[in-house]
């Protein structure tokens, strides 16, 4: 007889006298009407969307200014100037310095942030609802009278160079940059982060000139969501931002070419213990006819945890912590990304399984059961994502940029319900066939290269 133990065995723990129990049914789903969106275009051309959504005494704001560079190919100097503009927009006006601007916002519990990418300049913020007029006043001041003080700009320039070097040491950044170059070539959309050298060469005059030429209300959209009266909020915006005017229209990014199929590029990152697999192909934009079917096909493949690919490479093989596929929207269309990080010694095996699951989407299309689970997830997670002021504000801003309104959201569950298995099979056939993809693999080439090349399809 063995010594007595103080605990049960694993087998004993997993078993009760009663045995397995039946899963309770789901209750009745509650209909959730989306709030009304009030929209107005000011005489200056700025579109304003305002939504009453109480819950917490807060307000969220998103100002999206289309901010493409002047050329049709990636322009390193413009990218650097735009990045520095974004880091210094809030550092000075005729009447306030950097600390003064922040103090003004903090007094009403507000924060403003600025971000830029090849498509747009985004000023985002939130604060106590009662502080909305103050937030708008500060916003108006920086839009119309940002001075980009030399001392602030030179310091931020120095920091930006340091931050860029930190960002580029992240494998995910290395992979993202390689993927963007691979799929978009020299189109401006590929250049998401400027080089340190280009940033170091930017002058205050250049940043002021980029502001004057690009920060324009016509073509821009301000979304306000929160514990507010929408009509009063629009009036407050009209008053506060009325002076922000310009002759031109904010510059939209041209549609990039969609990625063609091709061999995967192996990018060497010596010393890596993990590899980044980044596959890509064309996808559908939200307003396309078959988008809902495409969305369901994507969920079944790799769009959520209970997907074929994740269950295979994580829960069966243990190759990765996470694997995800999804659409990324670009001007005029969308691209599909298939992305996972795996240990160096299983990189070839993970690629093989990825290609197998892509092929299986074509050969063994999603079953009715798989589609129903994906559909319920799509509808439920939409409900959850819109259940906060910030989530709703960001979603409305992104949809508006794509020319879509709240009705598109409202009708989404109905469109998802209407999708048939045949339509999902068609989407799987069209978008998930392995030979439609291109992409990159970042890792220690000496370790992962030989086996990957032996599998084929590696440049």
Partner 1 sequence: MSELELHRATLANGLRVLVVPDPATPVVGVSVHVDVGFRSEPEGRTGFAHLFEHLMFQGSESLEKLEHFRQVQGAGGVFNGSTHQDYTDYFEVLPGAALERALFLEADRLRAPMLTEENLRNQVDVVKEEIRLNVLNRPYGGFPWILLPPVLYDTFPNAHNGYGDFTELEQATLEDAASFFDTFYAPGNALVTVHGDLGEHGVEGTHALIEKHFGDIPARPVPVRPSFAEPIPGSERRQAVADAHAPLPALAVGYRVPDPTTALDEYLAHALLASVLGDGEAARLQRRLVHADGLVTDINASNGLMGGPLDARDPDTFTITAVHPGSVDPDRVLGAVDEELDKLAAEGPSIDELSRQSARWAAALHHEDDRVMYRMLGLGARELLYGRAEIATELPARIAAITPEQVRRSAAALRSQGRAVLLVEPTTETEDEA
The DSSP secondary-structure symbol of 367 reads P
What track of x and - describes contact with partner 1 for positions 430 through 449 (by CB under 8 A)?
A: --------------------
Stretch that binds partner 1, among 24-32, 80-88, 180-188, 416-424 (CB under 8 A): 24-32
What track of x and - describes contact with partner 1 for positions 165 through 184 (by CB under 8 A)?
A: xx-xxxxx------------
Nearest to 200 by CA among 239, 161, 167, 255: 161
Please state the closest distance from residue 267 (CB atom) to partner 1, in A: 14
Please state the closest distance from residue 196 (CB atom) to partner 1, in A: 6
What track of x and - describes contact with partner 1 for positions 243 through 282 (by CB under 8 A)?
A: ----------------------------xxxx--------
Which residues sit opposite 38 in a β-bridge?
A: 50
What track of x and - describes contact with partner 1 for positions 286 through 305 (by CB under 8 A)?
A: ------------------xx
For the segment 67-106, give every residue that binds partner 1 (CB under 8 A). 90, 98-99, 101-103, 106
Q: Does 324 bind partner 1 (CB under 8 A)?
A: no
Residues 6+ away with beta carbon under 8 Å from 223: 49, 50, 51, 60, 61, 62, 63, 64, 393, 396, 397, 400
Which residues sit opposite 116 in a β-bridge?
A: 121
Q: Give the torsion sign (CA, 128, 132, 136, 138).
A: negative
Stretch that binds partner 1, among 36-44, 55-63, 67-75, 228-236 (CB under 8 A): 55-63
Q: Does 32 bind partner 1 (CB under 8 A)?
A: yes
Residues 6+ away with beta carbon under 8 Å from 150: 204
The DSSP secondary-structure symbol of 253 reads P
Please state the closest distance from residue 377 (CB atom) to partner 1, in A: 5
Dist. CA 430–CA 301, nearest whole Å? 13
Q: How many CA atoms lie within 13 A of 102 on its CB side?
A: 7
Give residue 181's Cα distance to chain centre. Answer: 18
Dist. CA 444–CA 404, nearest whole Å? 43
Interface with partner 1 (CB under 8 A), residue from 201, 258, 379, 409? 379
Nearer to partner 1, 180 or 347 (CB): 347
Query: Can you tell me which residue has the tokens 């913020």?
Result: 125
Interface with partner 1 (CB under 8 A), residue from 277, 342, 361, 419? 342
Nearer to partner 1, 377 or 429 (CB): 377
Sheet arrangement for strand 120-128? 37-41, 47-52, 221-226, 58-66, 120-128, 111-116
Instruction: Give the pairing type, strands 111-116 and 120-128.
Output: antiparallel
Interface with partner 1 (CB under 8 A), residue from 258, 343, 349, 433? 343
Stretch that binds partner 1, among 10-18, 137-145, 399-407, 423-431 (CB under 8 A): 10-18
97 contacts 263 by C-beta, under 8 angstroms: no
Interface with partner 1 (CB under 8 A), residue from 38, 329, 377, 408? 377
Nearer to partner 1, 85 or 416 (CB): 416
Interface with partner 1 (CB under 8 A), residue from 35, 242, 262, 390? 390
Q: Does 4 bind partner 1 (CB under 8 A)?
A: no
């Amino acid at each position: 007889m063995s010594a007595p133990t103080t605990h049960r065995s694993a087998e004993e723990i997993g078993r009760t006298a009663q045995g397995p129990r039946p899963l309770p049914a789901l209750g009745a789903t509650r209909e959730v009407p989306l709030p009304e969106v009030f929209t107005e275009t000011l005489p200056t051309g700025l579109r304003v969307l305002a939504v009453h959504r109480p819950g917490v005494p807060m307000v969220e704001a998103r100002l999206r200014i289309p901010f493409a560079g002047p050329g049709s190919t990636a322009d390193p100097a413009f990218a650097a100037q735009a990045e520095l503009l974004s880091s210094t927009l809030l550092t000075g006006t005729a009447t306030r310095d950097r600390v003064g601007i922040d103090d003004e916002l903090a007094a009403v519990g507000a924060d403003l942030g600025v971000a830029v990418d090849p498509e747009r300049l985004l000023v985002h913020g939130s604060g106590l609802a009662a502080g909305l007029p103050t937030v708008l006043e500060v916003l108006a001041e920086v839009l119309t009278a940002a001075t980009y003080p030399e001392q602030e700009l030179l310091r931020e320039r120095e920091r930006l160079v340091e931050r860029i070097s930190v960002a580029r040491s992240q494998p995910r950044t290395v992979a993202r940059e390689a993927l963007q170059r691979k799929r978009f070539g020299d189109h401006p959309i590929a250049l998401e982060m400027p080089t340190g050298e280009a940033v170091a060469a930017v002058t205050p005059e250049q940043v002021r000139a980029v502001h004057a030429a690009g920060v324009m209300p016509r073509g821009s959209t301000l979304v306000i969501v929160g514990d507010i009266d929408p009509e009063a909020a629009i009036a407050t915006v009209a008053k506060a931002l009325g002076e922000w005017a310009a002759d031109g229209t904010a510059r939209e990014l041209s549609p990039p070419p969609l990625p063609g199929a091709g061999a995967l590029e192996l990018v060497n990152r010596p010393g890596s213990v993990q590899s980044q697999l980044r596959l890509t192909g064309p996808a559908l934009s939200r307003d396309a006819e078959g988008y809902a079917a495409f969305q369901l096909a994507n969920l079944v493949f790799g769009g959520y945890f209970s997907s074929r690919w994740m269950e295979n490479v994580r829960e069966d093989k243990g190759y990765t912590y996470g694997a995800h596929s999804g659409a990324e929207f670009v001007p005029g269309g969308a691209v599909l990304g298939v992305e996972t990080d795996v240990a160096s010694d299983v990189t070839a095996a993970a690629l093989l399984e990825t290609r197998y699951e892509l092929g299986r989407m074509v050969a063994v299309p999603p079953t009715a059961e798989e589609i129903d689970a994906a559909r319920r997830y799509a509808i439920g997670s939409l409900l959850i994502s819109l259940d906060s002021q910030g989530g709703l504000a960001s979603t409305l801003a992104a949809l508006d940029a794509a020319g879509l309104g709240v009705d598109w959201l409202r009708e989404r569950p109905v469109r998802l319900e209407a999708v048939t298995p045949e339509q999902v099979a068609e989407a799987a056939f069209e978008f998930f066939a392995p030979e439609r993809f291109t992409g990159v693999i970042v890792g220690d080439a000496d370790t992962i290269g030989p086996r990957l090349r032996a599998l084929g399809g590696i440049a």
